[in-house]
Copies of this chain bind each other. A is one copy, B any other.
Amino acid sequence: MTSSVVTLSGGLDSTVCMAVARTASAAGGRLVALTFDYGQRHRVELEHAAAVAGHFGAEHLVVGLDASQWGGSALTDTAIDVPDACDAASSPTHIPVTYVPARNLIFLSVAMAVAEARDADDVYLGVNALDYSGYPDCRPEFIEAFAAAAALALKRGVEGRPVAIRTPLVQLAKADVVRLGLEVGAPLGLTWSCYRGGQQPCGTCDSCVLRARGFAQAGVDDPALS
Mark A residues whose CB is within 8 Å of B: 61, 63-67, 69-72, 92-93, 95, 99-106, 108-110, 112-114, 116-118, 136-137, 139, 141-142, 145-146, 148-150, 152-155, 157-158
Expressed in whole angstroms, the Cα–Cα distance for A113 and B65 within the complex equals 12
This chain: how many copies in the complex?
2
Q: Would you give the shortest CB distance from A15 to chain B, in whole angstroms?
A: 22
Contact residue among B65, B95, B118, B152 (Cβ-Cβ distance under 8 Å from A63): B65
Chain B residue at minimal CB-CB distance from A65: B65
Q: Would you give the shortest CB distance from A56 to chain B, in whole angstroms?
A: 19
* Contact partners of A154 in chain B: CB under 8 A: 101-102, 105, 136-137
A113 to B109, Cβ gap below 8 A?
A: no
Contact residue among B64, B67, B103, B152 (Cβ-Cβ distance under 8 Å from A145): B152
A102 to B148, Cβ gap below 8 A?
A: no
Contact residue among B64, B108, B113 (Cβ-Cβ distance under 8 Å from A72): B113
* Contact partners of A95 in chain B: CB under 8 A: 155, 158
Q: Would you give the shortest CB distance from A6 to chain B, in whole angstroms?
A: 14
A110 to B118, Cβ gap below 8 A?
A: no
B112 to A102, Cβ gap below 8 A?
A: yes
Chain B residue at minimal CB-CB distance from A69: B61
